[in-house]
């Protein structure tokens, strides 16, 4: 059993998303778009999958520091837990802030800001690489003598707190706005309006932004997203797109010292001879349009069907991942990543995804059948594999016919 509080909270996440969808229906507001929500959840899945490998490294380094270099041995009383909470939230603030102010680090955080909607599914839209750039910010806590498991617990709870603030259904919350991070404060953080950019980096407590000069109250309704929209529902591309752009920019910079500066300057920085810093433009609200793709209803239902199965398989894998070897985890992560990429790109109707989806349907069905035979699993899995192959093949054939895409 995986005791990660984030994984254990997955059912609660979906219950709350369901409640928000009911509110959307009752209030006649457009809070969700299916392709965007699928892309958000897919980024959450790829983040959890990569976390099986990267977070182990981060926690391992923390444990190494704590076990060998801690300055103090602390008693676990109420002051210990209060101090750990405050320090975890403070280091989160600085890690989060630097993820916005350093170009290299932004590549590990930009995924969370790519959605042009703002709802609870956005909270699950997380990067696969952010931990690489941010875990070192927490190491001072290890030096002070706070144990690894206690830090991991409080850090996870800090992350869980931030789930509910990703909503437009809750307005301002009175005196809580003075101390805690709230939906209003965090809506500002997700705004691409120049006055809102790089503001309100708080985790649980907004006091850090007020102390360090990055606080901005919510005034006009934010326009969400990033200044250069991703324009894709592909979860893997979402994680690599910024680094691809960085690679293109680095090729244009001839001086090595400027290449290094580019890595650590703010996103949008270029040397003066290449145009200098590109500031975020004002948003033309009247003419602004979100990225949209028009997919037939048949594709929407097909993707939803596949995605529900994918979520169930992913959830079971994450709960049981401790029983698998590192190699088995890697194979499972690749298979699930292909699944979510196909689900997203089907909305974009790109020709290659039809070949990829046919291959995936057949290969995954064969894999289940083969594993059932090799591992001598219950014969019910033969039925599952055949049923999945039959339903998916017939349904996807109708999808391709309806989309008028040649697959021969």
pLDDT digits (tens, 9 = 90+) for 76-94: 999 999 999 999 999 999 9
- In a domain, residue 152? The reply is yes
- What pLDDT score was predicted for residue 57? 83
Both 203 and 72 in one domain: the answer is yes
- What pLDDT score was predicted for residue 404? 59
Which residues, in sequence order, are bridge partners of residue 191? 224
Both 205 and 322 in one domain: the answer is no
- In a domain, residue 270? The reply is no
- In a domain, residue 150? The reply is yes
- In a domain, residue 125? The reply is yes
Structural domain containing residue 308 = 297-403
Alpha-carbon distance of 246 to 110, in angstroms, equals 13
Give the residues of the chain that fall short of pLDDT 50.
Answer: 1, 405-408
- What pLDDT score was predicted for residue 56? 81
Which pTM value belongs to this model? 0.93
Alpha-carbon distance of 118 to 236, in angstroms, equals 21
- In a domain, residue 19? The reply is yes
- In a domain, residue 311? The reply is yes
Contact status, residue 44 vs residue 125, Cβ threshold 8 Å: yes
Where a domain ends, among 212, 246, 265?
Answer: 212
Q: What is the DSSP string of 174-207?
A: GGGGGTB--HHHHHHHTB-STTTTT----SSBTH
Both 315 and 207 in one domain: the answer is no
Number of domains in the chain: 2
- What pLDDT score was predicted for residue 174? 95
Where a domain ends, among 164, 187, 212?
Answer: 212
- What pLDDT score was predicted for residue 306? 97
- In a domain, residue 283? The reply is no
- What pLDDT score was predicted for residue 284? 86
């Amino acid at each position: 059993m995986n005791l990660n509080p984030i994984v254990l909270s997955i059912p609660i996440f979906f219950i709350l998303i369901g409640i928000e969808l009911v509110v959307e229906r009752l209030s006649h507001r457009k809070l969700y778009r299916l392709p965007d929500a699928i892309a958000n959840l897919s980024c959450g899945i790829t983040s959890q999958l990569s976390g099986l490998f990267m977070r182990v490294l981060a926690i391992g380094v923390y444990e190494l520091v704590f076990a060998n270099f801690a300055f103090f041995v602390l008693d676990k009383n109420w002051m210990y837990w209060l101090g750990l909470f405050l320090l975890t939230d403070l280091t989160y603030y600085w890690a989060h802030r630097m993820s916005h102010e350093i170009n290299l680090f932004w590549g590990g955080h930009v995924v969370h800001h790519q959605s042009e909607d703002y709802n609870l599914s956005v909270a699950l839209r997380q990067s696969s690489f952010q931990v690489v750039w941010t875990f070192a910010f927490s190491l001072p806590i290890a030096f002070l003598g706070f144990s690894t498991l206690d830090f991991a617990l409080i850090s996870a709870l800090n992350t869980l707190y931030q789930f509910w603030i990703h909503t437009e259904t809750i307005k301002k919350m009175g005196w809580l706005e003075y101390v805690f991070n709230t939906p209003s404060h965090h809506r500002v953080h997700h705004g691409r309006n120049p006055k809102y950019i790089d503001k309100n980096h708080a985790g649980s407590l907004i006091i850090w932004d007020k102390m360090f000069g990055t606080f901005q109250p919510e005034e006009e309704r934010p326009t969400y997203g990033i200044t250069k929209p991703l324009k894709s529902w592909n979860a893997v591309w979402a994680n690599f797109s910024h680094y691809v752009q960085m690679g293109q920019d680095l090729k244009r910079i001839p001086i090595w010292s400027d290449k290094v500066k580019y890595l650590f300057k703010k996103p949008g920085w270029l040397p003066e001879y290449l145009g200098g810093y590109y500031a975020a433009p004002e948003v033309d609200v009247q003419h602004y349009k979100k990225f949209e793709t028009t997919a037939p209803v048949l594709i929407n239902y097909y993707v939803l069907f596949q995605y529900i199965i994918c979520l169930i398989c992913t959830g079971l894998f994450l709960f049981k991942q401790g029983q698998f070897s590192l190699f088995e985890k890697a194979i499972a992560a690749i298979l699930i990543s292909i699944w979510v990429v196909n689900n997203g790109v089907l909305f974009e109707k790109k020709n290659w995804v039809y070949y990829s989806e046919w291959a995936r349907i057949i290969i995954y069905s064969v894999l289940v059948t083969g594993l059932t035979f090799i591992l001598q699993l219950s014969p019910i899995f033969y039925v599952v594999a055949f049923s999945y192959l039959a339903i998916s093949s017939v349904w996807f054939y109708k999808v391709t016919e309806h989309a008028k895409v040649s697959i021969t």
